[in-house]
Amino acid sequence: MQAREVSVEQAIDDAPDASKRLCSLAAQHRQNHREVNCHDTRRHWQASAGTYCYQTHIAIEGQPHTRLDWLAGVFYNHASLPAHAWYPQFLGGKVQALAAPPATGIEQHQLAWGRFDLGLPTPRYYRQLLSLAQPQDNTWVIVARSVTTGPELPQAAKLAYTPDPNGEVLHFENGRLHWHHICCAPGAGMLPGRLDRWLINAMRRTGLDGAERKTYRDEALKLRDWLDTQPVELPG
């Protein structure tokens, strides 16, 4: 089973294959969900992570092709933004440049952490290597893997983790901008170690994942609505 977090060096080496897995999951989802402007969330058991992986997809009409590259930059640099219009639970973050070159097939990478309100007594921090790939002209991938080091965390920061597969896929086809949010999280740091994984899996198996699914739904619909307010001609 995967570790909750890996070294930066390991995450760099793993990023190309992780990007391919995200692309494959996204392509399958697009084939099975063809509605427009409507979200779809489904899950599968990810044995390598010992938990469920949730996949959310929405195909948004009325977006120019230029929005694809712009939005890839927004997601890749999300931790440096003051807020997320599509996800108000984001409470800020921090980024750190890497001297090491990215692996073959990865355009850029950086270390980052983001702080999120998950409805728990204290926020959770996700410390990740973010790897940006463009496997095709009409597709961008952002791999987000939990790592053991990164930008300095505040004292008493409570971490949550994202093993593989985890990240975003953006795809433009037939006049539609597709967003795929693929999230693999084995807990939210509510209990120590394996107990946290056991708790979240029990909740998911027994159908107590309604709040989690609602978060994915709301995120997709807020992203759609926010993009509809953006000007056609975007700043560089």
The pLDDT tens digits for 122-151 are: 999 999 999 999 999 999 999 999 999 999
Confidence of residue 193 (pLDDT cuts 50, 70, 90): confident
The pLDDT tens digits for 50-76 are: 999 999 999 999 999 999 999 999 999
Structure tokens at 203: 């909740």
**Nearest CA among 192, 202, 164, 200 for reference residue 48:** 164
**Nearest CA among 211, 197, 171, 206 for reference residue 50:** 197
Confidence of residue 189 (pLDDT cuts 50, 70, 90): confident
- Which of 124-133, 189-198, 210-219 is predicted with the least confidence, judged by mean pLDDT? 189-198
pTM for the predicted model, two decimal places:
0.96
Above 60 in pLDDT, residue 35?
yes
Residue 133 has a pLDDT of: 99
**Nearest CA among 39, 62, 77, 78 for reference residue 180:** 39
Above 80 in pLDDT, residue 233?
no
Q: In the chain, what are the domains?
A: 8-228 (3.30.530.20)
